A and B are shown apart, each in its own frame.
Chain A
Amino acid sequence: MNNKLKILIKGILDVSPLMIPVVPFGIIFGVIGMDLGIGPYMTFGMSIIVFGGASQIVLLQLFSGGASSLVILSSVGAVNSRHLLYGAVLSEHLSGLKLIWKIILSYIMVDQAFAVSNNYFKKNKKNKNKHYHLLATGFTCWIIWQISTLIGIFLGSIIPEELGLTFAIPITFLALLINDFKKLNNVIVMLVSGTIATLGYHLIPFKAYIIVAALSALLVALFITNINSKKI
Chain B
Amino acid sequence: MQWSLIIYCGMITFLTRFSMIALLKKDTFNKKTKMILSFVPSAIFPAIIFPLVFLDNSGDLNLENNPKILAAMFAVMIGYLSKNIYATIFSGLISYWILIFLIGY
A and B form one complex: yes
Residues of A within 8 A of B (CB): 20-21, 24, 28, 38-39, 42, 45-46, 49-52, 54-59, 61, 63, 69, 72-73, 76-92, 94-95, 99, 102-103, 105-107, 109, 163-182, 185-187, 189-191, 193-198, 201-202, 209-211, 213-215, 217-218, 221-222, 225, 229
Contacts A173-B49, A191-B46, A210-B44 given; indicate if A85 touches B89 (C-beta within 8 A): no
**What are 20 A-B contacts with C-beta separation under 8 Å?**
A21-B86, A50-B6, A72-B9, A76-B12, A78-B44, A85-B37, A88-B27, A90-B20, A91-B27, A99-B22, A165-B93, A167-B92, A176-B45, A180-B42, A189-B39, A190-B45, A196-B47, A202-B59, A202-B60, A217-B47
A218:B9 contact, CB within 8 angstroms: no
A171:B42 contact, CB within 8 angstroms: no
Cα–Cα distance between A41 and B44 once the two chains are bound (Å): 28
Cα–Cα distance between A57 and B13 once the two chains are bound (Å): 13
- Looking at the assembled complex, report how far the CB atom of B34 sits from the nearest CB atom of chain A, in whole angstroms: 6
Q: Is B98 an interface residue (CB 8 A)?
A: no
Among B3, B35, B52, B93, the residue within 8 A (CB) of A225 is B35
Known: A91-B24, A174-B92. 9 other contacts (CB 8 A): A50-B9, A84-B37, A86-B17, A87-B21, A175-B75, A189-B43, A195-B50, A198-B55, A217-B44
A181:B80 contact, CB within 8 angstroms: yes
A63:B1 contact, CB within 8 angstroms: yes
Nearest to B46 among chain A residues (CB) is A194
Nearest to B95 among chain A residues (CB) is A171
Contacts A61-B48, A168-B89, A177-B42 given; indicate if A201 touches B19 (C-beta within 8 A): no
Report chain A residues within 8 Å CB of B48: 57-58, 61, 169-170, 173, 197, 210
B5, B32, B48 pick with most chain A CB within 10 angstroms: B48
A85:B29 contact, CB within 8 angstroms: yes
| In the complex, the 7 A-B pairs of residues with the closest C-beta atoms, listed nearest first | A87-B20, A194-B50, A194-B46, A106-B18, A213-B47, A217-B43, A49-B10
Contacts A72-B5, A167-B71 given; indicate if A193 touches B43 (C-beta within 8 A): yes
- Looking at the assembled complex, report how far the CB atom of B87 sits from the nearest CB atom of chain A, in whole angstroms: 9
A45:B20 contact, CB within 8 angstroms: no
Cα–Cα distance between A92 and B35 once the two chains are bound (Å): 19
- Looking at the assembled complex, report how far the CB atom of A77 sits from the nearest CB atom of chain B, in whole angstroms: 5
Report chain B residues within 8 Å CB of A229: 32
Among A50, A58, A209, the residue within 8 A (CB) of B51 is A209
A51:B96 contact, CB within 8 angstroms: no
Report chain A residues within 8 Å CB of B52: 61, 166-167, 169-170
Report chain A residues within 8 Å CB of B9: 46, 49-50, 55-56, 59, 72-73, 76
Contacts A179-B83, A210-B44 given; indicate if A102 touches B18 (C-beta within 8 A): yes
Cα–Cα distance between A106 and B86 once the two chains are bound (Å): 28
Cα–Cα distance between A167 and B91 once the two chains are bound (Å): 12
Report chain B residues within 8 Å CB of A78: 40, 44
Nearest to A169 among chain B residues (CB) is B52
Contacts A106-B18, A218-B36 given; indicate if A193 touches B1 (C-beta within 8 A): no
- Looking at the assembled complex, report how far the CB atom of B83 sits from the nearest CB atom of chain A, in whole angstroms: 6
